[in-house]
């Protein structure tokens, strides 16, 4: 699995996850920075849109990892299917050419 392809697909579908700590800006806050929080970003009409998903605890991070793993598996399946379809397509084209060449020989 190429990391770049995975990253692009995650980004396209709004599953580009990142963990962030947040400074609340309150003057007397003793617990800054807050978090970690999990976000996902996606590009919409050229703009990056960030979605807050919740506190980045073990269960949410496990969910994120599970999603990333499933997306990788889907990409592998897709690539396999695509190759299969492409091979079928090339075979059909090649068969058409074969038919043509055989036709020529008969003439």
Q: What is the binding site for Zn ion (CB under 5 A)? A: 24, 29, 32
Nearest distance, CB of residue 37 and Zn ion, angstroms:
13
DSSP alpha helices (H): ranges in 1-107? 3-12, 58-106
Choice between 5 and 24, CB closer to Zn ion:
24
Buried residues in 17-40 as b, exposed as e (16+ CB within 10 A): beeeeeeeeeeeeeeeeeebbbbb
* Shortest spacing between CB 52 and Zn ion, in angstroms: 16
| Residue closest to Zn ion when measured from CB atoms | 29
Cβ-based nearer residue to Zn ion, 18 or 21: 21
Distance CA 94, CA 56 (A): 54
Closest approach of Cβ 33 to Zn ion, in Å?
7
Comparison of 24 and 96: residue with beta carbon closer to Zn ion: 24
> Three-state SS for 63?
helix
């Amino acid at each position: 699995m190429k990391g770049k392809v995975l990253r692009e697909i995650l980004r396209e579908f709004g599953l580009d996850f990142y963990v962030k700590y947040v400074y609340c800006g309150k003057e007397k806050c003793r617990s800054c920075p807050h978090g970690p929080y999990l976000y996902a970003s996606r590009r919409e009409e050229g703009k990056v849109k960030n979605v807050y998903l919740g506190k980045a605890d073990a269960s949410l991070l496990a969910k994120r990892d599970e999603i990333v793993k499933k997306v990788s598996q889907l990409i592998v399946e897709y690539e396999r299917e695509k190759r299969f379809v492409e091979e079928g397509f090339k075979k059909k084209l090649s068969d058409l050419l074969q038919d043509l060449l055989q036709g020529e020989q008969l003439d």
